[in-house]
Structure 1
Amino acid sequence: MQENKNENTQEDAGDILSQRRRKNKEMKAAGINLYPNDFKVSHGINAVRQEIEGAPDRMGPDGPVFSVAGRMMAINRFGKSAFIRIKDGSGELIQAYLQSKMLGEAFDLFKQMDVGDFVGVTGTLFTTRTGEWTLDASTFRLLSKATRPLPEKYHGLKDPEKRYRKRYVDLIMNPEVREIFLRRSRMIQAVREFFITRGFLEVETPMMQVVAGGAEATPFVTHHNALGMDLFLRIAPELYLKRLVVGGFDKVFEINRNFRNEGVSTRHNPEFTMMEFYWAYATDADLMALSEELFAHVAKAVTGDVVVNYQGHAIRFDGIWPKIPLLDALVEIGGVDKKLLDDREGLLAFAKEKNISVTKTEKLGKVLTKLFDVLVEPKLIQPTFITGYPVEVSPLSRRSDKNPMLTERFELFVAGREIGNGFSELNDPEDQRQRFLMQVQEREAGDAEAHMMDEDYIEALEYGMPPTAGQGIGMDRLAMLLTDAASIREVILFPHMKPVSHQ
């Protein structure tokens, strides 16, 4: 059967909406229940197909009876009969054959129905002349009347702006979008299973915090009426997770929602998902080894392979990944003269020459990382660890024993973007206090993203935190990699957008 186009494609959408609203009123006035809730489904459409594959010889007029339900995606009318296509929550489609002589009044009701309506059909199976298995409807029910028309099938919903605003329609019309979010769900499940099987405890920490900590970002502010105080939506769960390590949980993780009051781009959404884990008696080297295992495991679970095609690149998640010190990367990949690495004034002049935005007040460590962001990061396509970040940009990381100006910190880059950030944790409360004070000075100098002082966290460290390593991984960016999505909005069901008036 060739599926029909939407029946009203030549009419103005506003006219169709008005007509349907009028028709719904007329049907209700005639005593028709447009939204009944008493139809019992015996099989999902995918289960019907499995039954067919398992025993095709059993199907036929004397075979099993199936009751399925779903949305009508196509209607082909032939006078006193019709073929329809139904899609249910599995995303599968099945054809049904309706006849007036079999259905009686139900067929008269069907004649008033539209593509997009939810229906229930009961019947046995037969094959059409083209060999398609089809339900021979013995009963037919309207389950929910759709008022608004679906987009015209052959053009669908393609405009990204409309797709993101009306994700529910996007999911109805575009099977590939549905697959993105099925993959994302499998990804989250695979991450969770990976850590639970390794003895990590999944926990939940506050989303409203007195001090916004754990990252350098501008927070959202809310107000608690009963307590009469402002609170911050969390920018990271890090400091609370490390409090749990202090409390005796040696392995913890959280798949969490974070909120950062920043711009929107193909890589940024103000509300996003991170996975953070903390591991007592581990080091940054242990985290990198675990990351290699994790990403290979998740890629295989989601795509069936450890090699993932992303935007024209074959990304390999197996094996041992390169580990490059940040300073070496600036020289070898970014083209920075090695003599400039400890020359702040020389780096400022170099940045100006390359049109890289750096302020004259920024410290050497921040200048180095800003140069890295522009000159090196976009070139890191295969999974790569960049290690040895300066203390100035790592307020929560343990200092390196070999070079106290650097930290035992790494960032993981894939496809030219940061995917993860990990380090051996700073557990010296006095050193942590001094790092916070440095951040406070930067806030006072105008850096709204600098870390706040958190006295309660320092007090927790004073009770003693074991040597610990922790890491955060961006779940949205990982989902982008595993679904070949160019924009973060493709992997977030409801990305933030400016509101529009409703019609």
Structure 2
Amino acid sequence: MSDNIFELKKAKFLEQREKGNLADSYNKTHTIEEVAALSEGTKNISTAGRIVAMRTMGKILFAHIYDFSGKVQICVRKTEEAPEVFEEFTANVSIGDFVGVEGEMFVTKTGELTLRVGSWKLLNKCLRTLPEKYHGIEDIETRYRQRYLDIIMNNESRDVFKKRFEIVKALRRYLEDSGYHEVETPILQTTPSGALARPFFTHHNALDIDCVMRIACETYLKRCIGAGIDKVYEFARSFRNEGISATHLQDFTMLEFYASYWNSDKMRLFVEGMMRNLIEKIFGKVQVKLGNNEIDFSGEWPVYEYSFLVQRDSGIDIKKYNTRESLAEQIKAKNIRLDDDINTLSWANMVDSLYKKVSRPKLIQPCFLVKYPVEMAPLARRNSKEPQYVDFFQFLVNGVELVKAYSELVDAIDQRERFEEQMQAREHGDDEAMPIDEEFLTAMEHGFPPIAGVGIGIDRLTMILCGCENIKDTVLFPLLRPIPAGHQDSEAEHEKK
């Protein structure tokens, strides 16, 4: 926007403010979506929103008024009885302004349901020009930086966030209907625990202690289980100082839930029921298209063993090559290039990186992955018959992990030994390995019942179910590098994008 246009809009705003014409509230009888569902002839309708399109033809004006639920056409006519309604509207309202309107419904000659405005109020002025309506905002970074404009102008973005709201609502309702209690656990912690990840560090001035941002809420939710809250969950904002990709964020929303006296087999059945319910709530059916793939959520979902998949897709038997040196040698011999630096990985993380390279992209239809090596899940319970594995499963769709779950380790002695193994890995350069969490061990030493737990990344789940290409498309305000002062695009340049 040129400085001249901005100053003109600013002057108009100041004029209306000086006259006291900017109302501080408006009583709505209907949302825009509800207005759009009314029948012709309905009277005494009042609604409010932002003007996103407007055209004048002589003594009649048509405009579209928008809120998050949708948009609907309004019509303002110049009449002999009240010519000021039309004259003041055309003189004082521009695209982007917020208005409240009242009137009755009619259908135009072209068949469009429209609200005929009998009275209106100006609620606030827009000082900057909205993007051109037919192209919306096409520049990806601008869409992320100015999500409020992206939602207004792009139906696809608006639909993603509507669906995200419904996903969270459906999951919360399913858990609550199943007897789970929602809790809140600390974001600021003194020990990074609950997952294998590199934390963000900060400092607490009042206590003069270094803290980490939560990487998972697992250890605190287990303490709730120890307190007797048999079923517990949290939608937890979590932070992991890791690499950026189309499917990873450093700050993300994780749903974790835990049930006393369950094991991973019982939890797997629960997750299957929950995910089917979610798909039916969101899509109204169980056969859906996600991205370029047709996904069928009906029938029995296959269960694969982790080592079987890796051997099938790479030719490497991880049961046989069970040291980091021997496994690294085999990976190099097979000429497989991992996405991570093989020289810095522990055996467990090397196995995980290998699986993600050769197997996970092939898992398109819904499936479960089971029998993880014990080194890959330091908080999971060992399998009673095969102690080299943990009772663990993942749920995958379209080549992406959506759910991670396992029978929780409640053996305090075993847990301490695994923490010590993790500390050895840290000493050898694995900065994602988990340090010893003495406070959590103390809680465990007071006794935990059998537990099964689940983690679901809400951003990634939304990404897959909405067919988004980048996980940032599912987050209202993703973190971006600040634009240096003096380098912001002018609005005219912005609109060209």
Distance 1:361 1:139 in 2: 69
1:155 equivalent to 2:144? Answer no
Distance 1:129 1:115 in 2: 24
Q: Taking structure 1 as reference, are residues 319 and 200 closer, same or farther at Cα in structure 2, changes over 3 Å only? A: farther
**Aligned position for 2:494:** none
Distance 1:391 1:439 in 2: 12
Q: Taking structure 1 as reference, are residues 37 and 104 closer, same or farther at Cα in structure 2, changes over 3 Å only? A: farther
Q: Taking structure 1 as reference, are residues 38 and 288 closer, same or farther at Cα in structure 2, changes over 3 Å only? A: closer
Distance 1:34 1:384 in 2: 60
* Structure 1 residue 367, shift from structure 2 partner: 3.0
Q: What's the TM-score once normalised by structure 1's chain length?
A: 0.90
**Aligned position for 1:265:** 245
**Aligned position for 1:434:** 417
1:333 equivalent to 2:333? Answer no
Query: Is the 1:97–1:134 Cα contact (8 Å) retained in structure 2?
Result: no
**Aligned position for 1:6:** none
Secondary structure of 1:333's counterpart equals helix
Q: Percent identity?
A: 39
Distance 1:344 1:17 in 2: 63
**Aligned position for 1:241:** 221
Matching residue's letter, 1:41: K
Q: Please give the residue correspondences for 1:121-140 in structure 2 after superposition, counting only pairs within 5 Å.
A: 121-140=101-120
Q: Taking structure 1 as reference, are residues 386 and 127 closer, same or farther at Cα in structure 2, changes over 3 Å only? A: closer
Please point out which of 30, 35, 59 is paired with 1:43: 30
1:223 equivalent to 2:209? Answer no
* Structure 1 residue 214, shift from structure 2 partner: 0.2
* Structure 1 residue 98, shift from structure 2 partner: 2.9
Query: Is the 2:213–2:238 Cα contact (8 Å) retained in structure 1?
Result: yes
**Aligned position for 2:301:** 321
Query: Is the 1:222–1:232 Cα contact (8 Å) retained in structure 2?
Result: yes
**Aligned position for 1:424:** 407
Distance 1:167 1:112 in 2: 27
Matching residue's letter, 2:453: G
Distance 1:69 1:142 in 2: 10
Query: Is the 2:105–2:115 Cα contact (8 Å) retained in structure 1?
Result: yes
**Aligned position for 2:336:** 354
Query: Is the 2:380–2:391 Cα contact (8 Å) retained in structure 1?
Result: yes
Query: Is the 2:33–2:69 Cα contact (8 Å) retained in structure 1?
Result: yes
1:376 equivalent to 2:369? Answer no
Secondary structure of 2:314's counterpart equals coil
Please point out which of 72, 84, 100 is paired with 1:93: 72
Please point out which of 412, 423, 430 is paired with 2:395: 412
Q: Taking structure 1 as reference, are residues 414 and 127 closer, same or farther at Cα in structure 2, changes over 3 Å only? A: closer
Distance 2:446 2:317 in 1: 45
Q: Taking structure 1 as reference, are residues 123 and 339 closer, same or farther at Cα in structure 2, changes over 3 Å only? A: closer
1:485 equivalent to 2:468? Answer yes
Aligned length: 482
Provide structure 1 residue ranges, at least 5 long, that are not aligned to the other structure: 1-11
Query: Is the 1:363–1:392 Cα contact (8 Å) retained in structure 2?
Result: no
* Structure 1 residue 92, shift from structure 2 partner: 2.7
1:24 equivalent to 2:13? Answer yes
Distance 1:381 1:413 in 2: 8
Secondary structure of 2:19's counterpart equals coil
Distance 2:458 2:218 in 1: 16
Distance 1:131 1:254 in 2: 48
Query: Is the 1:420–1:473 Cα contact (8 Å) retained in structure 2?
Result: yes
Distance 1:15 1:21 in 2: 10
Matching residue's letter, 2:54: I
Query: Is the 2:345–2:430 Cα contact (8 Å) retained in structure 1?
Result: no
* Structure 1 residue 103, shift from structure 2 partner: 4.2
**Aligned position for 2:371:** 388
Query: Is the 1:87–1:94 Cα contact (8 Å) retained in structure 2?
Result: no
Distance 1:196 1:219 in 2: 31
Secondary structure of 2:255's counterpart equals strand
Query: Is the 1:103–1:139 Cα contact (8 Å) retained in structure 2?
Result: no
* Structure 1 residue 462, shift from structure 2 partner: 0.9
Q: What's the TM-score once normalised by structure 2's chain length?
A: 0.91
Show CA shifts across 1:388-447 (max 9, x none). Answer: 111222111111222222211222222112212111111111111111111112222222
Matching residue's letter, 1:331: Q
* Structure 1 residue 86, shift from structure 2 partner: 1.5
Matching residue's letter, 1:309: K
* Structure 1 residue 242, shift from structure 2 partner: 0.6
Secondary structure of 1:388's counterpart equals strand
Distance 1:216 1:337 in 2: 24
Q: Which moved more, 1:178-187 or 1:79-88?
A: 79-88
Secondary structure of 2:52's counterpart equals strand
Distance 1:133 1:428 in 2: 66
Query: Is the 1:34–1:145 Cα contact (8 Å) retained in structure 2?
Result: no
Please point out which of 238, 246, 262 is paired with 1:282: 262
Distance 2:416 2:200 in 1: 24
Distance 1:403 1:213 in 2: 26
Q: Which moved more, 1:433-442 or 1:77-86?
A: 77-86
Distance 1:279 1:338 in 2: 31
Query: Is the 1:121–1:140 Cα contact (8 Å) retained in structure 2?
Result: yes
Distance 2:453 2:313 in 1: 27
**Aligned position for 2:47:** 68
Please point out which of 292, 301, 304 is paired with 2:281: 301
Matching residue's letter, 2:477: F
Secondary structure of 1:408's counterpart equals strand
* Structure 1 residue 87, shift from structure 2 partner: 1.8
Matching residue's letter, 1:67: S
**Aligned position for 1:253:** 233
* Structure 1 residue 27, shift from structure 2 partner: 4.5
**Aligned position for 1:4:** none
Show CA shifts across 1:112-159 (max 9, x none). Answer: 431111112222333322233333322232111111111011221111
Query: Is the 2:192–2:212 Cα contact (8 Å) retained in structure 1?
Result: yes
* Structure 1 residue 358, shift from structure 2 partner: 5.3
Matching residue's letter, 1:21: K
Q: Taking structure 1 as reference, are residues 382 and 334 closer, same or farther at Cα in structure 2, changes over 3 Å only? A: farther
Q: Which moved more, 1:363-372 or 1:245-254?
A: 363-372
* Structure 1 residue 451, shift from structure 2 partner: 0.6
Secondary structure of 1:93's counterpart equals strand
Show CA shifts across 1:308-350 (max 9, x none). Answer: 2111111222332222111111122333358854475443223
**Aligned position for 1:120:** 100
Distance 2:142 2:111 in 1: 37
* Structure 1 residue 49, shift from structure 2 partner: 3.6
Distance 2:6 2:198 in 1: 43
Distance 2:100 2:204 in 1: 47
Please give the root-mean-square deviation of Cα atoms over the aligned residues, in Å. 2.1
